[in-house]
A and B are shown apart, each in its own frame.
Chain A
């Protein structure tokens, strides 16, 4: 009943399929590929007009800002890029792998392994402590948890002293930091953040952006932010407008 994900050595992927049957899934070679590529992407919710997205590319370790007013489809795009929504038309490629080729279970695994997500509202598994939330992200993403790596991550985000606290006892700023730590827990190739600064004052918005930028570079992850927050525009050279 319980699926144990194991790295590398095991014969089978967590979905029960032999890894050798899908050698393209894990791991991948990121050297000469853009980490993220979207082309001809369109999406329509049932009974809603189709949303068309511009083509864009994000290099390995690069930063990309996707802006647009409320309701233009930023969240939809982020969910398409991270495989939370299935692509209907067009293509999303992460490191040369087209997300269309994956089954739902493969998509889940792929996302866990290579994409770290930060949402506007930082929420966690409330029955677990701060460090166990990181452990869970490591487990689901990388197949096993690593306590010392988790502690190192909390340390670099300045919340190591809260490691064994329940997440409910964290302040707003600490929750944002934990959300960033969780996104990086499985050492993803790309971090995707949805409105990470929109509800914050100038000072905290600056702080959160700096943390996101610094930590993703430290962990060699590309950073894709979708936001209507105009304050972020000056921070990114690579921008796409919806």
Chain B
């Protein structure tokens, strides 16, 4: 028997009010934790994939749509552009390097991207087995794709037209897997990379088109500038002087995050309000119980407990509630994140490790314990200040 045990039993004595407090602390904790985790992985996921890409060129349309489709491979492309026009642009003196992307086809919902070896090099991809594609209809797979469908080096598969899982198969041209990348946490994990010529061969030009290679169409081109001065002139040049559209990933993503950020900030306020309500619930239930507990506390004092022990007992009761609330809140949040990572996670291109605990989440435990201590201080001081003798004799009369 000790004061910790007594505090624990005292918490259990009012199970309903303890439960109410704990539920509020759990919800507050869970919400804060999920917001922290999702906010950070969204942010990280999006910034990680921008890598060195200064500008994206594609068909006219929504600039955000172009970025989402060409950089993150989420949205449908805005259309195609002429390869010749793109290549003319790539000779501009402010442009250091470009990477062409041709996509549209898929394998079981995963995108097949026709490109050059520069694309995996941009993300510093490493091979876990096999080699990069060389010939047409060879493919190198992102780790997640390979894992998901159990594909190994030497396996073959058919691509489907469009990104629909149910879409019609190009069943005359099987692809052969030549290699598989290490997991990287970037967009490539979810892609099947191949040579551009494979994509072109699957989509023969409309009658009348000449089959000259530079006359083909591509979907988008990633652009790296020689120096940051390009930002000032190149997008305007492309948008005005060519039939193509240029978009800056950094700017579009910042715009996107301003919206996200507002939503997250609003939800964070809600989470904190819920937690503070948990603290208020501790405060109110302890103040309510003050009178009915006075005699018991006086008895405890008469048994030899010092003021500081009684004070500690009451604070401990609040801390117990806080710790239980925090633990179950974290369990709830991370169980939720686990579900999220199993379902929505890869669709939006964010990698969430549901069992990773952020430093901020550890700080949160301190915050909650502090909140509970603050809530219990006034009831504890009032209890300790009572006149033990008076309480004991008033009861007897």
Residues of A bordering B, CB below 8 Å: 1-4, 14-15, 75-76, 79, 82, 84-85, 104-105, 108-109, 111-113, 117, 119-121, 123-128, 132, 135-141, 145, 182, 186, 194-195
In the complex, B256 has a CB within 8 A of chain A: no
Query: Given the known A-B contacts A125-B299, A140-B304, A141-B303, are A120 and B396 also in contact in the complex, defined by CB atoms under 8 Å?
Result: yes
What are the residues of chain A within 8 A of B13 when measuring CB–CB?
126-127
Apart from A3-B308, A3-B312, A126-B13, 10 more pairs, CB < 8 Å: A2-B3, A2-B312, A3-B3, A105-B308, A111-B302, A119-B396, A123-B296, A125-B6, A126-B296, A137-B303
Q: How far is the CB of B322 from chain A (nearest CB, A)?
A: 13
Question: Residues 298-313 of chain B: 1 if any A CB is under 8 Å from the residue's CB, otherwise 0?
Answer: 0111111111110011
Between-chain CB contacts (< 8 Å), 16 pairs? A82-B302, A85-B389, A109-B304, A109-B306, A111-B302, A117-B302, A119-B302, A123-B299, A124-B296, A125-B9, A127-B9, A132-B1, A136-B6, A139-B2, A140-B305, A140-B309
Query: Given the known A-B contacts A1-B316, A82-B302, A108-B307, are A145 and B296 also in contact in the complex, defined by CB atoms under 8 Å?
Result: no
CA distance A104 to B304 in the complex (A): 11
B388 touches A84 (CB 8 A): yes
- Name the residue of chain B whose CB is nearest to the CB of A147: B1
What are the residues of chain A within 8 A of B388 when measuring CB–CB?
84
B304 touches A186 (CB 8 A): yes
A111 touches B2 (CB 8 A): no
A136 touches B300 (CB 8 A): yes
Q: How far is the CB of B146 from chain A (nearest CB, A)?
A: 54
What are the residues of chain A within 8 A of B192 when measuring CB–CB?
none
Q: How far is the CB of B82 from chain A (nearest CB, A)?
A: 73
Q: How far is the CB of A227 from chain B (nearest CB, A)?
A: 12
CA distance A182 to B10 in the complex (A): 19
In the complex, B119 has a CB within 8 A of chain A: no
What are the residues of chain B within 8 A of A139 when measuring CB–CB?
1-3
CA distance A141 to B3 in the complex (A): 13
Interface centre among A123, A138, A139 (most CB of B within 10 A): A139
A2 touches B2 (CB 8 A): yes
Interface centre among B6, B299, B303, B312 (most CB of A within 10 A): B303
What are the residues of chain A within 8 A of B10 when measuring CB–CB?
127
What are the residues of chain B within 8 A of A186 when measuring CB–CB?
303-304
A125 touches B300 (CB 8 A): yes
In the complex, B395 has a CB within 8 A of chain A: yes
